[in-house]
Amino acid sequence: MIVEIDLFSGRPNPRWQVDEGVRGQVLAVEVQLKPAVRGDMELPGLGYRGFIYEDGGVMRRAFAGMLERDSVVYKDPTNAMERLLLESMPVDLVGVRKRVLGLLS
Amino acid sequence: MLRIEVDMFSGRPNPVWIITEEKTVKDIIGAASQTQAIAKQGVGFNGLGLREIRVSTLGDEGTRVRGVPAAFAVGSSAAQDFEASQKLAHMLIETMPLRSEHKLLEHELTPLDKKLRELILKRLDRKWLKPWWPPRPRPTSNPLIDTTADIKCRHCNYEISQFNPTFWNNPATQPYNNCYNYGRNWKTNTFAQPGRAHGAQTGTMACNTVTAAAMADGLVKRCNPCLPNGEFPRRLMALVIDPGWDYHWYRHQRGGFWGHKPGSTAARKTDNSNAVITNPETCDRGGYTDFCGYFYAGKSVVIN
């Protein structure tokens, strides 16, 4: 599974591949999430806009304690998905990781 | 040293001479730097008759004067300030020797003499009194685009176009074009990077490095110089930097606001506080805290 962090405007966003173990954890987090009452995920223009990944031909975006999948928004009050994907970042993206961790805390 | 060529003949070689006297060279370059009298060579009137006076430096160090390139033209219909351009052309013709001390190949068929100088001056004056080149063809009329005078330098013009997000916000375009594509108004589908088309891309995210990369693509700083009409359509772009991380561009649009496209997200006219952007220097830009400046991008700017 390929994960992208939607962060930049000019430069290409960092992307990396996660193994089957991480993929399993991602899908396990997904099944625990409940639909949000308000169904809109508002993204800022510039700056961190979450993580994007695809599984089974369906795109997802995890951002600001929410997960959007198939036009449905789910609540993720502990940012579990964003933290999991942040942890899966390769070591060469350590600077990006620190920066986004600061935004999540 | 300067090489002067009066571009006026069709069959014979043009009159050419070399100016070596340092004070004269300085006077000419100085006069060229203080006005909008100069133009790119070959972009003005190009029919039969006196077209322009071409000035070229002979060394590889250029003129060493800001705003004055190593080769330029005066007395050109492409100059922003035609009156100043004509005056400078007169000044140059006055330097034409009546017998060249440097024998050039062109002098075999076009020797320099008083008669020739008088002919050039006469034709230059005729051009000044009654411009005799055909009017520049106006760009094809497009209801989505207007030409506007720059409020920072009224003698410079650029084009503003209708905000048209549907062109960018569709699955075939949006993911593959970024802020630089939007600012330049050129869909390359390559997530264009400043300087990449000219081997000058930078990995250092700072005002000076990204500015240099973009200028390698052909962008010029606002008001210095103006872009000639031949560069239609000319865009006004603004560059900001998230220091050490990223860059971002805005484009001035018709209606007085600025449009932009953050990365692969949708093109928009609002900032991070959802306010319409009327000033890219003061709008909410998140972490893009450094404002680097404004640039013109004419039609010859190539990005990739």
| Whether the predicted pLDDT of B48 surpasses 80 | no
Mean pLDDT by groups of 10 residues along chain A of 105 residues: 96 96 96 86 92 94 94 93 96 93 82
Question: Given this model, what pLDDT does residue B27 score?
Answer: 86
Q: How confident is the model at residue B272 (pLDDT cuts 50, 70, 90)?
A: very high
Contacts of B111 (CB under 8 A, 6+ apart): B99, B100
Average pLDDT, chain B: 88
pLDDT for res B69 = 86
Whether A4 and chain B come into contact, CB under 8 Å, resolves to no
> How far off is chain A from B258, nearest CA to CA, in Å?
14
User: Is the model's pLDDT at B248 over the cut of 90?
Assistant: yes
Instruction: Look at chain B and count its residues.
Output: 304
pLDDT at A20: 96
Confidence of residue B140 (pLDDT cuts 50, 70, 90): low
pLDDT for the residue numbered A71: 87
Query: Minimal Cα distance from B192: which residue of A?
Result: A10
Chain B residue at shortest CA distance from A9: B263
ipTM over the 0.85 cut-off = yes
Q: Does B196 touch chain A (CB under 8 A)?
A: no
The predicted pLDDT at position B255 comes to 94
Mean predicted confidence (pLDDT) in B209-232: 95
pLDDT of residue B270: 96
User: Is the CB of residue A44 less than 8 Å away from at least one CB of chain B?
Assistant: yes
Structure-block tokens of residue B288: 């893009």
Does residue B13 carry a pLDDT above 80?
Answer: yes
What confidence score (pLDDT) does residue B286 get? 94
Q: Which residues of A touch B245 (CB under 8 A)?
A: 8, 99
- Within an 8 Å CB–CB cutoff, is residue B181 touching chain A? no
Each residue of B22-41: pLDDT tens digit?
A: 888 888 888 888 768 888 88
In sequence order, the 6+-apart residues with CB closer than 8 A to the CB of B20 are: B1, B102
Q: What is the pLDDT of residue B43?
A: 79
pLDDT at B54 over 80: yes
DSSP conformational letter for B141: P
CB-CB under 8 Å, A11 with B248: no
Q: Å from B268 to nearest chain A CA?
A: 8
- Judged against a pLDDT cut of 60, whether residue B291 lies above it is answered with yes
Lowest mean pLDDT among A5-14, B108-117, B272-281: B108-117
CA–CA separation, B19 vs B2, rounded Å?
5
Q: Is A75 on the interface with B (CB under 8 A)?
A: no
Looking at the partner chain, which of A10, A47, A49 has a beta carbon nearest the beta carbon of B247? A10
pLDDT given at position B164: 95
Identify the weakest region by mean pLDDT among A63-77, A80-94, B48-62, B189-203. B48-62
Contact B37, B75 (CB under 8 A): no
User: Per-residue pLDDT for B200 more than 70?
Assistant: yes
Residue B303 is predicted with a pLDDT of 94
- Measured between CB atoms, does B224 come within 8 Å of chain A? no
Does the beta-carbon distance from B287 to A47 stay under 8 Å?
A: yes
User: Given this model, what pLDDT does residue B50 score?
Assistant: 83
Q: Is the pLDDT of residue B47 over 80?
A: no
Residue B141: band (very low, low, confident or very high) from pLDDT cuts 50, 70, 90: low
What is the layout of strands, in order, in the sheet containing B71-74?
B16-19, B2-7, B52-57, B71-74
Regarding predicted confidence, which is higher, B201 or A102?
B201
- Per-residue DSSP letters for A3-17? EEE---SSSPPPEEE
Q: For chain A, say whether B243 makes contact (Cβ under 8 Å).
A: no
**Which residues, 6+ apart, have CB-to-CB distance to B244 below 8 Å?**
B205, B206
- pLDDT of B101 strictly over 80: no
Residue B137 has pLDDT above 60, yes or no: no
* B129 has pLDDT over 80: no
The Cβ of residue B263 has, within 10 Å, a number of other Cβ atoms equal to: 23
Average pLDDT over residues B229-245: 95
Residue with the bigger pLDDT between A37 and B129: it is: A37
**Which residue is closest to A99 within chain B, CA to CA?**
B245
The pLDDT, as a whole number, for residue B26 is: 85
